[in-house]
Amino acid sequence: MLSPRPSKIVCIGRNYADHAKELGNTVPDAEPLFFLKPPSSLIWNGDAIVLPSQSQQVEHEGEIGVIIGATLRNASEADAAGAIRGIVAVNDVTARDLQKKDSQWTRAKGFDTFCAVGEVHFGSADLGNIEVITRVNGVEKQRGNSNQMAFSIPFCLSYISKIMTLEPGDLVATGTPAGVGRLSSGDVVEVEVVGFSKLRNPVR
Ligand code: ZN
């Protein structure tokens, strides 16, 4: 099982060119961009995403998440790939207005309920070909595949592990494809990592 309190949640930003472009950015050239979400932001399948009063623009970001199964420090891409314990659907919920205001994304990404995580699929996967779909009220908003990532999942894990040790139970969210959009109270948002994990959360 995913530990209820991973030591950290690491998220990759701007890992799909079409999503970077929709927010007026480009994918980073040589190195992935990453940030942390606090473990206190975690909720599970079925739990409510709570819109905070500080933001007028809370958005969904459906992502492929990986659960780390072994300690990774200065890991090669092959070792990093081998240390993945499971695949999960993740919604990296983001207060877009606050993200644009702040140079650090801690506030925009860190509210309670802003990291929704689906059931964990244990076992192996073809990391270079995983599809992720996000729906709001049953309508498809985002569809992407890990084959479109600027930086592959093993590359990202290896890169992160050269900066901070990844520990068993840690969660890495690997970036969102294009189509992010606003969530309103009463919405139901779903993230599906096809064949692996599903996540469904009401918004209030
Ligand atoms: Zn994200």
pLDDT averaged over 10-residue windows placed end to end, the chain, 204 residues: 78 94 90 96 97 98 97 98 96 98 97 96 90 98 97 98 97 97 98 97 98
Residues, CB within 5 angstroms of ligand 1 (ion): 61, 92, 176
What does the pLDDT read at residue 3?
55
What does the pLDDT read at residue 124?
81
Q: What is the 3-state secondary structure (H, E, C) of the chain?
A: CCCCCCCCEEEEECCEHHHHHHCCCCCCCCCCEEEEECHHHEEECCCCECCCCCCCCEEECEEEEEEECCCECCCCHHHHHHCEEEEEEEEECEEHHHHHHCCCCHHHHHCCCCEEECCCEECCCCCCCCEEEEEECCEEEEEEEHHHECCCHHHHHHHHHCCCCECCCCEEECCCCCCCEECCCCCEEEEEECCCEEEEEEEC
Give the distance (Å) from ligand 1 centre to CA of residue 186.
Answer: 22
What does the pLDDT read at residue 121?
87
- Structural fold of domain 9-202: Fumarylacetoacetate hydrolase; domain 2 (3.90.850)
Domain ranges of the chain: 9-202
What does pTM read for this prediction?
Answer: 0.96
Give the distance (Å) from ligand 1 centre to CA of residue 175.
Answer: 5
Give the distance (Å) from ligand 1 centre to CA of residue 61.
Answer: 5
Give the distance (Å) from ligand 1 centre to CA of residue 88.
Answer: 14
Give the distance (Å) from ligand 1 centre to CA of residue 126.
Answer: 21
